[in-house]
Amino acid sequence: MPGNMLSKGEVFVIDTDTASREQLLAALQQSAYDVICFADGASLLSEAKARMPACVLLEMPPDRSALEVLKRLREENCMAPVLVTSANGSIAMAVDAIKSGATDFIEKPFRTHDIVDRIDAAIDEVGQPCVSGQRWLPGREPLTGREGDVLEHLAAGLTNKEIARRMHLSARTVEGYRASILRKAGARNLTDLLRRIFGQGAPTHV
């Protein structure tokens, strides 16, 4: 990290690819983050009990063990945003990651400056108070702030890719949030969802 820059916080990283990890380390340090790399989820969880990172970058291995790390972080009240990366990403995996508490799901290979931008955006969002006033269905599981934002964009007619660009997320992540919203609403598709939400008069907010 350049000597004249104040640290923006610590980023915990698990990435088994040496080249990828070194590129991330250099890019994050250049952007004024302190980086701590871990060999496995157990060591990361142990450190997270002692200190709160600004963000966590977590690689998803084929056995999906990262999901358990995610759940443990949330159970232990680590509220830092967690970005999950995977070389074998799928919509189902993105949905599972988001259900387990991930903020973003990013498929490999990725460009390191994109990762830095997404970490910046995720950390900024954590610092923002939730002002989402979206209308939701009585008796249904409430939406998270991110899900409310995605719903607002869906209702405005934006595509997954357009939403991803606006929210600094991957399209896979938006697909995951969209699937989670549909599940919570008990809706078959987007048309059904919007009809259920807006069917009883026009809301002041989405």
In whole angstroms, give the CA distance from residue 176 to residue 28: 26
Q: How many residues does the chain have?
A: 206
pLDDT score of 129: 46
Strand partners, 56: 12, 82
Backbone angles phi, psi at 8, to 5 degrees: -90, 0
Distance between the two ends of the chain, CA-based, in angstroms?
42
Domain at 145-198: CATH architecture: Orthogonal Bundle (1.10)
Domains of the chain, by residue range, sit at 10-126, 145-198
Query: pLDDT tens-digit profile of 28-57?
Result: 999 999 999 998 999 999 999 888 899 999
pLDDT score of 130: 45
Residue 150 tokens, joined: 């995605």
Q: Is 134's pLDDT higher than 80?
A: no
CATH superfamily of 10-126: Response regulator (3.40.50.2300)
> What pTM was estimated for this model as a whole?
0.67
In whole angstroms, give the CA distance from residue 206 to residue 202: 9
Query: pLDDT tens-digit profile of 89-117?
Result: 788 888 888 888 898 998 888 888 889 99
